[in-house]
Chain A
Amino acid sequence: MDIGHLVAIAITAAVIQNIVLTYFMGICPFLGVSRRVDMAFGMGAAVTFVNTAAGVVTYLLQAYVLIPYHLEFLQYVVFIFVIAAMVQLVEMYLRKFFPRLYDSFGIYLPLITTNCAILGTTLLIWIKGFGTLAQATVFSAFVGVGFTLAIVIMAGIREELDFADVPKALRGPAITLMIAAILAMAFMGFAGIGG
């Protein structure tokens, strides 16, 4: 296995082409759940978990069912169905076997079905043309890491923002988006690393 290539995929997915700050996916939780660092981390962990699982399952489905039987046009319907079902299964599994983990990120799980980062990742795997299951797995896991990174940084900044005197009209989403603009500029600085 080509480890160097996998590392490059991981770094690209996590920082250089950060899912939130360059692809604009997962903006809803990025704005909604980024008020406190611990909540942001919980959301990030839940997304990473579901993202990796969904990436693997949809990769296998597309590669071994949809493509051999020429059913590519069903891709969107199948993928969203898999994600919705997966979120349900993960929720039930966690509730039964890891109740403490469930308590910590159970409330975020239902929100994940409509998180476009998940569907976006499963589609990007095919748009970017990853050839092997290992590449797809590493990519989807590190997209989740990148999401966690962005949302935790944002939550940290917003905690400090509570002490700032923001103009009344800009409070809430407006100032959050402007901070995101500056964060996105900072992340553009990583652009030279991978390629």
Chain B
Amino acid sequence: MASETQTVAQSQAAALGEVRETGLRALIPKRAYAHVLLWLACLIIGFPLFYAILVSTQTNSNVYAYQFYPGTNFADNWAKVMIERGIWRYMVNSVFIAIAVTFGKTLLSLLAGMAFVYFRFPGKWIVFGFVLITLMMPTEILIIALFRFVNDLNWGNTYFALIVPFLASATGSFLFRQHFANIPAELSESAQLDGATPLQFLFRVLVPMSWNTIGALAVIQFVYVWNMYLWPALVIQGQDRQVVQVGLRTLIGGDASLSFGPLMLGAVAASIPPLIVFILLQKQFMSGFALSRDK
């Protein structure tokens, strides 16, 4: 009996010891092992991009010599990438398409979310199911039929083909529906007493309350459109309207051998816009994923 109480007491003391660090351990910074391991993880994850940035300033002979400091070829690489191969043009196209789709998708999802939460109409659940089930239909699977259809519309080689098919979003409609459903009904009741139309209510009341959801969705959609590869490679033939993910191909072909400097410069440049969007909207993105909870 006595020994049993003793073991319980011991294990309790051991458990508390893990919580309250005492004696010598107090001298070591709290959770030093976590800091060391996290720094290591950040370094390993960051290394490929860091090395790509380094190589973007180098010539091939620098790369072959495994030179771990910046080279002097940045200006030449820049001229080759941006002017000779016209990556700049592809970047502008990608930015335009990504902004257009992100904006349109957010707008259409807001409208759909509004219809699902603030209206009574017959067949609402069937329509909701009809929208939600498209989550199971990735565009990639339909790519052959979609390609044929877009060609029938004479949309080959146009921005329409890159923008219009992606404007509707099951994810967005679903997220806004969830978000609006959690907003107290008194708000829409009092808005109606004040004589507000549904659209006024949406843009004056709901949108200002939804910036976190809008921001999270915007990051997801911007990155999604920015990353599109197979579809633009199919429907866009000319150089003027091509997106950057496909346009980077021009840095691989055309030379006798692969020049790593320009290729890495192009890859790094193509990563800057989504990284900017990600960093600017990081707070919204994280809280959209319920990450902000801890302090």
> Are the chains A and B members of one assembly?
no
**Which residues of B are at the interface with A, using a C-beta cutoff of 8 A?**
none
